[in-house]
Amino acid sequence: MEKGKQQEGGAMVAVPNFLPHQLHNPIQEIQLRFKQLESGFKLWLSKQSLPVEATVVTAASAAQGAAIGAFMSTFTSEASSVFPTPPPNASLSPQAMASLKQAQALSGGPFVQGRNFAVMTGVNAGITCVLKRLRGKEDVQSSMAAAFGSGAMFSLVSGMGGPNQAANAVTSGLFFALVQGGLFQIGQKFSQPPAVDTHYIKTSSMLQNLGLQGYEKNFKKGLLTDITLPLLTDSALRDVKIPPGPRLLILDHIERDPELKREKQGGRK
């Protein structure tokens, strides 16, 4: 820590001079430590055998799911009183009993909700881990298979459904798989970069270099492709509603570009 001197009442007093790099943010340090621990844990886990990795992943995900379920139960605690347990001698149809069990499974206390979420997240993560290690990739098929197992186990543990629990487990698994498959496809669609239009490679590069990338849509609306670059005129750019300033920059760039200039001269011959 460097010290500076400040005059106070005729006397020179040493004043600590805090440098910017010495000011630490405790929150950032905690986040950095957490990321380091997480990276180290993932590296260690990737070197373990499949049974060990699957067991650890399943247990960790189940613990997280249990915590989430217990927390979510605080929002659904009032709903449990709406669906009371019927007396033993109540004459309810199998369909009504199944609906009541489903409502009770979704509105239980912290233990019930924690157990249900632990099963869903743990089974899903465990199956995903195994399939990813065996197949070497994580795709929609693996995601749907994990969701099917998760939904089936959730149905069995929570007691949802009618007398035939096996059939209901399959139905719940299929429902979970279809929902997960749809979400996976949507995520893949939005995560993929947009396809590059091969007709506007030079045009896009030129506009990027000039800082005029916002006018690329004008070129596309006017069908001014890379082939038309050497032929561009002020009137053509005006027709696609490009202002005078950007028009001058574009035409000057085309005039200075050796390749475009050769193509322009070759087209005149």
The CATH number given to whatever domain includes residue 222 is: 1.10.150
CB 263 within 8 A of CB 232: no
> Are residues 110 and 167 located together in one domain of the fold?
yes
| Two structure tokens written together for 19 | 């440098």
Structurally, the chain folds into a number of domains equal to 2
Rounded to two decimals, the pTM is 0.51
Is residue 172 located within the same domain as residue 205? no
- Based on its alpha-carbon atoms, the radius of gyration of the chain, rounded to whole angstroms, reads 32
**How many residues can be counted in the chain?**
269
CB atoms under 10 Å from CB of 111, counted, come to: 12
User: Which residue range(s) make up the domain with 102?
Assistant: 47-85+93-191
What percentage of the chain carries pLDDT values higher than 70? 72
The pair of three-digit structure tokens given for residue 213, joined into one six-digit string: 């990338």
Under 8 Å between Cβ of 173 and 149: yes
In a domain, 26, yes or no: no
- What's residue 238's pLDDT? 94
Token pair in block for residue 100: 């009541």
* Token output for 1: 């820590």
Last residue of a domain, one of 191, 213, 230: 191
- Residue 20: pLDDT band with limits 50, 70, 90: very low
User: Are residues 161 and 60 part of one domain?
Assistant: yes
Instruction: Report whether pLDDT(68) > 80.
Output: yes
